């Protein structure tokens, strides 16, 4: 089924909203203000989903057709929009989520990251198709779209042959591009160094090739600097790094003379953090199951939770610790907004919120909020 739509506004998740016979249609491949032909791909009781197949009246920010996605652009949402348009779309999404879920009016702008729109991603999850070609999963699908020899527009350029060598048809292969070079990790074999090393703000961090690390080439440095500027840590202050990973923020705070403690669910990540920041204390803790390990007092807190956010129990426990400042690093504006509403009820409000385009060509956006008690 195909319909003609006048697209209205951007929605969270990389969709643009249109209406057919009064019913909302979440589309991919379009931009606000465009008149398009859409193929309805999923029908629902409350809304439908669709793909743009033809653009009748393009928006000013369009740089190429939106569908089908070229193989090298699989994994992107806004490959057909220019940079200013992408920043406008992400700004609108952050503002809408903060207004709707936290009651906050945000007049900021999502800031462009250093570098360009392409070749910024240092971590990739590839799939091997049934004839051994390296590819990526299609949008909302398990289908593997084989990549051209030059690879994805997102990835820091690297050869695909080593990826194919460690995987078999049906496998997923994780690629890490680090200070040590290229590591390819499949379910049966790994080539290249593991763990790998990343240098940030004068400190070197080791991390498993399959472990979490900020994927943009400039993300760790930029976020670390923003968090330090926000918290203005003083020597001797007690700093708590929740969801600390391998100790990125803990290391930055320790270098400012803070007494640091990190809590993290992953045992492997905690083992790395203890080596990366030997002057800190790090504990394996599942904050989803309980908050008993969160200290009852702290001067500074960094929160860098997974995409779903910290949640009400963690937020309330942080507020009860009474820090003078909290830096919240969020990769999902909806989760950030929900947690900010909980912070508000607990007595903490954002002094400022900044957005960073650390995932160019995709709908994802990174935010940092500084929270204090008025």
Burial of 83 (0-12, 13-18, 19+ CB in 10 A): middle
Q: What is the DSSP letter of 294?
A: S
Q: CA-to-CA distance for 369 and 53, rounded, in angstroms?
A: 39
Residue pointed to by tokens 């995409």: 307
Residue in 114, 201, 78, 215 with CA at minimum distance from that of residue 156:
215
Which residues have a catalytic role annotated?
331
- Is 243 marked as a binding-site residue? yes
- Dihedral-angle region of residue 192 (phi above 0 means left; psi in -120 to 50 means alpha; beta otherwise): left
Residue in 21, 76, 25 with CA at minimum distance from that of residue 52:
25
Length of the chain in terms of residues written = 374
Q: Which two tokens stand for residue 199?
A: 């240098």
- Is 304 marked as a binding-site residue? yes
Helices (H), the chain: 83-102, 161-166, 219-231, 248-254, 267-276, 312-320, 333-345
Q: CA-to-CA distance for 109 and 253, rounded, in angstroms?
A: 27
Phi then psi for 9, rounded to 5 degrees? Answer: -140, 160
- The partner residues of 367 in beta bridges, in order of sequence, read 330, 355
Residue pointed to by tokens 């900020």: 214
Q: Count H helices, E strands: the chain?
A: 7, 22
**Please, are residues 114 and 218 in contact by the beta-carbon 8 Å criterion?**
yes
Rg from Cα positions in the chain: 22
SS3 273: helix
- Is 214 marked as a binding-site residue? yes
Binding-site residue positions for S-adenosyl-L-methionine: 214, 243, 264, 304
């Amino acid at each position: 089924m195909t319909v003609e739509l006048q697209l209205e506004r951007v929605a969270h998740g990389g969709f643009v909203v249109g209406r057919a016979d009064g019913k909302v249609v979440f589309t991919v491949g379009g931009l606000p203000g465009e008149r398009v032909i859409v193929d309805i791909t999923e029908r629902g009781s409350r809304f439908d989903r669709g793909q743009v197949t033809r653009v009748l009246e393009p928006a000013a920010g369009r740089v190429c057709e939106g569908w089908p996605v070229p193989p090298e652009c699989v994994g992107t949402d806004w490959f057909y929009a220019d940079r200013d348009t992408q920043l406008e779309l992400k700004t609108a999404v952050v503002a809408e989520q903060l207004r709707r879920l936290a009651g906050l009016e945000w007049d900021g702008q999502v800031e462009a990251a250093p570098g360009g729109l392409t070749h910024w991603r240092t971590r990739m999850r590839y799939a091997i198709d049934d004839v051994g070609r390296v590819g990526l999963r299609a949008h909302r699908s398990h289908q593997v779209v084989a990549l051209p020899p030059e690879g994805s527009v997102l990835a820091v350029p690297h050869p695909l042959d080593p990826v194919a060598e460690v995987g078999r048809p049906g496998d997923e292969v994780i690629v890490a591009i680090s200070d040590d070079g290229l590591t390819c990790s499949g379910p049966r074999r790994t080539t290249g160094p593991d763990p790998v090393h990343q240098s940030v703000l004068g400190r070197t961090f080791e991390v498993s090739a399959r472990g979490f690390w900020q994927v943009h080439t400039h993300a760790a440095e930029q976020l670390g600097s923003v968090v330090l500027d926000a918290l203005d840590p003083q020597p001797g202050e007690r700093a708590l790094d929740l969801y600390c990973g391998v100790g990125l923020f803990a290391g930055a705070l320790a270098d400012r003379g803070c007494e640091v403690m990190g809590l993290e669910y992953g045992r492997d990540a905690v083992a790395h953090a203890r080596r990366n920041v030997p002057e800190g204390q790090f504990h394996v803790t599942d904050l989803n199951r309980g908050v008993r390990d969160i200290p009852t007092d702290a001067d500074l807190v960094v929160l860098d939770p997974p995409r779903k956010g910290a949640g009400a129990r963690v937020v309330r426990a942080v507020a009860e610790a009474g820090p003078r400042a909290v830096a919240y690093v969020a990769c999902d504006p909806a989760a950030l907004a929900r947690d900010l509403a909980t912070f508000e009820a607990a007595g903490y409000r954002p002094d400022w919120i900044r957005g960073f385009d650390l995932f160019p060509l995709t709908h994802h956006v990174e935010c940092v909020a500084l929270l204090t008690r008025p």
